[in-house]
Structure 1
Amino acid sequence: MNKLNDINPNNSNLDIPDVGRRNMMKMTGATVVAVGVGALTSGSASAHSQVALSNEWDKTFAKSDNVDHKKVTFKNRYGITLAADLYQPKNANGKLSGLVLSGPFGAVKEQSSGLYAQTMAERGFVTLAFDPSFTGESSGEPRNVASPDINTEDFSAAVDFLGLQANVDRERIGAIGICGWGGMVLNATAIDKRIKAVAASTMYDMTRLYSKGYNDSVTLEQRTQGLEQLGQQRWKDAENGAPAYGPVSLELQGGEPQFVVEYAAYYKSPERGFHPRAINSNASWTLTTPLSFMNMPILTYIAEISPRPMLLVHGEKAHSRYFSETAYAAAAEPKELMIIPGATHTDLYDQVDIIPFDKLEEFFKANLA
């Protein structure tokens, strides 16, 4: 494989220049396939619209007998209706601590965030795992678009909802973000002082990735080229009256980097994380999704999380480990970085023997007391 087009052959109509495999990882987020956005194309891919909510169990993990579950909806500050799963420990009394959760980037609440939410509910918390705006069962048009502003607001809207529940102490609400929503939850916590403690698992800073590429390797020339391509895509979308989508995410052709193979092993496998509403399982983002991420760095004010505690969890073998390490360096005390020996990025999505739930329970019980 010596061209980006070799990964997704449908993208040839955008005249992306030939790049070697090493240079592929230096491209801007506009052309990164590894996080499920697909290669640039003017073709159309499945974009799921809103569906009716039900209490049918449609998760990628088994239902716990120790937790009560129901689907709920609430609106964010922009009037977008978010769909969520509310998990509550059975037979609990009094007001409890609460946690809001979302992620990974391109996932739905029936995957990792729901697993984390149900597990933390088993450990005594009222938890709310939500689909971000424009994705999953949440509303918003067009479908399958992300925004560093709106998705940060989604976390605060979840806090609004959870804090209105009769069995939740609104002074004891924390938050967990996974993968790309790990960066979003840190951004939300910096501005929303109602969040008393925050944890980010296998965190991606999507604004850094889209604007600078992996390991900050994108040159100014490459960044400019990516923005020029996105501008041309806007003309096409305007002419068509609708956004274009990439090919279905993570349809491997062979020769992809190992961490892309690991993403596919999670999102495409019915035995692990496949879900028909997940963008990374069954659809793709709009091609212009990277635009707002490329000049809005979400971790600018990470030091302002302090004096509230922050916990970052990352795998030792994760390609994304540097995101948590640099975020930790920029944050103020109290802070903690927990590196899981031998773990990859996606191990922290669903491997319950690797995800440090004991540590998460300890952290939130100590800091939401």
Structure 2
Amino acid sequence: MPMDTPDTNSSARAIQRRELLKLTGAGVAAFGAASLFNTPKAKAQIMTDEWDKVFPRSEKIDHEKVTFKNRYGITLSGDLYLPKNRADNRLPAIVVSGPFGAVKEQSSGLYAQTMAERGFVTLAFDPSFTGESGGEPRNVASPDINTEDFMAGVDYLGLHASVDRERIGVIGICGWGGMALNAVAADKRVKAVAASTMYDMTRVMSKGYNDSVTPEQRAQTLEQLSRQRWQDAEKGTPAYGPVSLELKGGEPQFVVEYADYYKTPRGFHRRAVNSNASWSLTTPLSFMNMPILTYIAEISPRPVLIVHGEKAHSRYFSETAFAAAAEPKELMIIPGANHTDLYDKVDVIPFDKLTSFFNQYLAA
């Protein structure tokens, strides 16, 4: 399809973008873009010291806001959680991030605080280009840079006085579950990794849910996304969609479940892409040609724990990843749970299992 010219009718542009949404299909739906009209340019957030999490603060931990840089020089913002009874001991530590389109004040912070209550130093961080972390333009994702973000978290924890750098693990949630597995395959400093309610974002963006996108649809999507780059370059800013997950009715059940988390007091946060913003239109480009789980077997001999809900629409991502991983590995299916139940439902998230897993494999 020819690229738009400056005098192209606005309705024609709208039709083109709606068609682009259909072509990118469920991959775009996965990160909340409901349609593809421009919105004002997103801006980086100023880091705040206030407790603005969607979960209550625990009295069992010490908390502080921290910053650290990744290998590309982007400053990342994190929440560091430390057990109160740590004394001068060097403790095992866990880097946590996700879900895709969330911020550290949501699910990753809940996981991090809970694991800190159980004796680990934990770091929940905002990935590059999102939340309080740096990077321009805003609300862009990258399979390479966001994998690097996990490794930068390992850098930070390995230099902390309360951490035993030889006992560091990683937890990735949703789309950051795939990033976590990719990071640990390359980063041999990490001793154990867990992925909860995992997505392989490179797979869903390139192939759609259940690999339903045809080669012809993929080619057409790449054609239009490539041409969108000219429009972005001409305007000097990426095109974005409207605020994510504003439901109109008739959406798939899993989208309704996303909205029930991100758009309600249960999980809404003003800095989260999925609550209050949208991804750049061309975000799928690098994901569509870079399968991040190619080397998952190279995590071995370090252990992998993959946790997923029995009723989750995304369960097949974890099953495929588990099949590709090498021993030692474990797949834990939570009876009756859907995808977002593992974001915040503390009676569903298997924290006892996560604790025993990391206690075993991060032992002194």
Q: How does the TM-score come out when normalised to structure 1? A: 0.92
Task: Indicate whether 1:331 and 2:325 are aligned.
Answer: yes
Residue 16 of structure 1: CA displacement?
4.1
- 1:180 positional shift: 0.2
Could you say which residue in structure 2 is the equivalent of 1:50? 45
- What's the offset of the Cα at 1:247? 1.1
Question: For residues 294 and 140 of structure 2, what CA distance do their matches in structure 1 show?
Answer: 23
Deviates further, 92-101 or 36-45: 36-45
Q: d(CA) in 1 for partners of 2:29 and 2:251? A: 9
Structure 1 position 40, deviation (Å): 4.7
Residue of structure 2 equivalent to 1:12:
14
Match of 1:299 among 289, 293, 300: 293
- The 5 Å alignment of 1:184-199 reads 184-199=179-194
- The answer to whether the 8 Å contact 1:34/1:259 transfers is no
Structure 1 equivalent of residue 336 of structure 2: 342
User: What secondary structure does 1:195 align onto?
Assistant: coil
Secondary structure in structure 1 of the residue aligned to 2:191? strand
Q: Which amino acid aligns with 1:111?
A: Q
Q: Which residue of 2 aligns with 1:6?
A: none
Which whole-Å deviations, capped at 9, do the CAs of 1:182-225 have from their partners, x for residues lacking one?
A: 00000000000001000000000000001111001110010011
Partner of 2:24: 28
Matches within 5 A, 1:158-237: 158-237=153-232
- Supply the AA of the counterpart residue of 2:160: Q
Q: Please name the residue that 1:108 is paired with.
A: 103
Match of 1:277 among 271, 294, 306: 271
Report deviation, 1:11: 7.8
What does residue 3 of structure 2 align with? Answer: none
- Name which of structure 1's ranges 10-19 and 208-217 shifts more when overlaid on structure 2: 10-19
> Identity over the aligned pairs, expressed in percent?
75
RMSD: 1.7
Residues of 2 paired with 1:78 and 1:46: CA distance? Answer: 23
Q: 1:289 aligns with which of 280, 283, 288?
A: 283
Aligned AA for 1:301? Answer: Y
C-alpha contact (below 8 Å) 2:83/2:117 kept by paired residues: yes
**Residue in structure 2 matched with residue 264 of structure 1 by the alignment:** 259
Aligned to 1:311: 305
Secondary structure of the 2:30 match is coil
CA shift in 2, pair 1:15/1:82, >3 Å: closer
SS at 1:56 equivalent: coil
TM-score by length of 2: 0.94
Q: Distance in 2 between matches of 1:252 and 1:153?
A: 33
C-alpha contact (below 8 Å) 1:145/1:285 kept by paired residues: yes
5+ residue gaps, structure 1, are 1-8
For 2:113, the equivalent position in structure 1 comes to 118
Aligned length: 352
Structure 2 counterpart of 1:59: 53
**Corresponding residue for residue 133 of structure 2:** 138
How far 1:296 moved relative to its partner? 0.4
Pair 1:358-2:360 in alignment: no
1:250–1:11: structure 2 CA closer, same or farther, 3 Å change rule? farther
- Distance of 2:17 and 2:93 partners within structure 1: 49
Q: 1:36 to 1:15 in 2, by over 3 A?
A: closer
Alpha-carbon distance change, 98 to 241 in structure 1, aligned in 2, over 3 angstroms: same
Question: Which stretch shows the higher mean deviation, 132-141 or 224-233?
Answer: 224-233
Distance in 1, Cα, partners of 2:256 & 2:12: 20
Secondary structure of the equivalent of 1:203?
A: coil
